[in-house]
Chains A and B, each alone.
Chain A
């Protein structure tokens, strides 16, 4: 799961050559980027499917939650890390996707519309609505810089409970909505573990997101994202529409958050404002920073981290056999304090995050492997 395509940077082709338009020499020597990413996605997908076959129901749900979060963190890291737009409102965007999926699923169920396609259709609706929300925020965001954008998106994140209570008729306030749970298709057998099926759906969504984003990041648009982040004037001089790039980055990121939120809602077949508090948006940011800003592989670390943050506290207090009062205080807070500290340390000392560390490690290993044969064959050169 942790192998993602973005990290295999094609450093072999000279930068000058790659700038020349249409020259076949500028092609990546390892063939089509799409095919390479597809191969990695198929490999990672097969691996996870094989693993889920061995897991207990609860562990499969954990895998599914990682996949759901991965959709969000991948889109978020592209926006914050590659485009430099700090969004603190992705929790609210997740909620948008989740509520849209819940409402669509409810509506379809009431009209007795059933079929395999209802879930993809609802998820697609969730993505579309959230992308639209992202467009609205993004249009404002393109005019805002740094702390202003962070402040506005923070205000967006505080909206979720308010909106669900104002429009109680639609969103059912604090209670939230519930819709029929997904069941595995009959073709898989009567005794197929439902959690495994959920994990597979979430996996499909995560792989699709990662594949699309990996290609997007490698494309012309991906490069203009980075240019706009680093130097807006230079980008404008190079003919890149700065505002449009920023808005589009926000829309793409929001769409990913909508898909992730929809899948997240599907796992429990419920949505409630309590699931999307202000903290969630901060946690998402924390996850991508610790994972490694701007790196899709770092987004995978981040997604794992988010699930760990949800599940560690229970484990910890269970095994340490603390008094009830102390356990209740440590519950959630201990892991959060540790991760918060790690976030600060990462930001101050190791901006590459976990994935930066992994990259440095593999580079060193590769160097060691390469150096050995090189010294032996040095006379031939």
Chain B
């Protein structure tokens, strides 16, 4: 039973990161109908920037800010320079361009920083606290959970309570009408990508210390897991992304804990296929007219 509780807390902490990452995917999907396959590589790039700042200044918080800011810039850049021009060719083209971006980012990171894993120290203690004899969350897990949930709350406020959020939703929902009403749809799209990449950057900074360290491939599996989380919740639903992230985090934690770490990719695939075949729209999808 102790082990079960430990795995539960561990899964929730991991799930919070997946939730933030899945949320980044959902943000772009809602705005542009693209799954950003370069999200993982972009997050790693910003994490490298963040940890470069950390080692230069000695302050984790400056590094975190640098990572998020570079995420904003990178997201806007990718949308302005690449995705805007890949769009007309159809979704296949956008996915392929994003994959090309993955190759370029990983290669450039390898050229600048080398191919070895770099240490990425966590800002807090990663040893689990013991509560009533049960090893539960570590301070770092608490920070991850808090940061991820704060971002989710901030985004919810942004989209539902502010004029700019309303404009972004309008631009995504009905681009033509919004344009007529004076919303700059292109700018909203850029903003959407920038926000998503910033959320991805935060998720990257949170997840890297829990893994082997900083490496150009550090987010490969995390991306696949986050994609699964987004699909579980439904690519269209931000709430779904959060619930999906926590759910996937829990499931993977149990699977890894009881069956061994090597089974994780297998579990991810089974989960992904099961959701797609049983409920393709995700758990939180609204009923929708059937297309022929």
- What residues of chain A have their CB less than 8 Å away from a CB belonging to chain B? 80, 84, 86, 88, 140, 143-144, 146-148, 150-152, 154-156, 158-159, 161-163, 165-166, 233, 236, 278, 282, 285-286, 289, 325, 328-330, 332-334, 336-337, 339-341, 343-344, 347-348, 351
Contacts and interface: CB of A to CB of B under 8 A. Distances in A.
Given A151-B227, A337-B108, A344-B100, A329 B269 contact: no
B115 A329 contact: yes
Contact of B262 (A162, A286, A333, A347): A162
B34 A343 contact: no
Contact of A143 (B82, B101, B276): B276
Interface stretch (B10-18, B85-93, B131-139, B201-209): B85-93
A140 B276 contact: yes
A88 B272 CA distance: 15
28 contacts: A86-B92, A86-B95, A143-B280, A146-B95, A147-B29, A147-B37, A150-B35, A152-B272, A152-B276, A154-B37, A154-B227, A155-B265, A155-B268, A158-B220, A158-B269, A162-B263, A162-B265, A162-B266, A329-B112, A330-B111, A334-B107, A334-B111, A336-B104, A337-B104, A337-B111, A344-B97, A347-B86, A347-B96
Given A337-B104, A347-B89, A150 B97 contact: no
Interface of B: 29, 34-35, 37, 82, 85-86, 89, 91-93, 95-97, 99-104, 106-108, 110-112, 114-115, 217, 220-221, 224, 227-228, 231, 235, 260, 262-266, 268-269, 272-273, 276-277, 280, 292
A349 B57 CA distance: 42
Contacts of A147: 29, 34-35, 37, 91, 95, 235
Contacts of A278: 217, 220
Contact of A285 (B34, B96, B224, B292): B96
B107 A159 contact: no
Nearest to A155: B269
A281 to B, nearest CB: 10
- Secondary structure of the B side of the interface? helix
What 7 pairs across the A-B complex have the smallest Cβ distances?
A: A340-B103, A147-B35, A337-B107, A340-B104, A343-B100, A336-B107, A333-B110
B122 to A, nearest CB: 25
- Secondary structure of the A side of the interface? helix
A346 B119 CA distance: 37
Given A148-B231, A152-B269, A337-B104, A282 B263 contact: no
A80 B96 CA distance: 11
A332 to B, nearest CB: 7
Given A144-B276, A151-B272, A233 B110 contact: no
A80 B95 CA distance: 12
Contacts of A325: 114
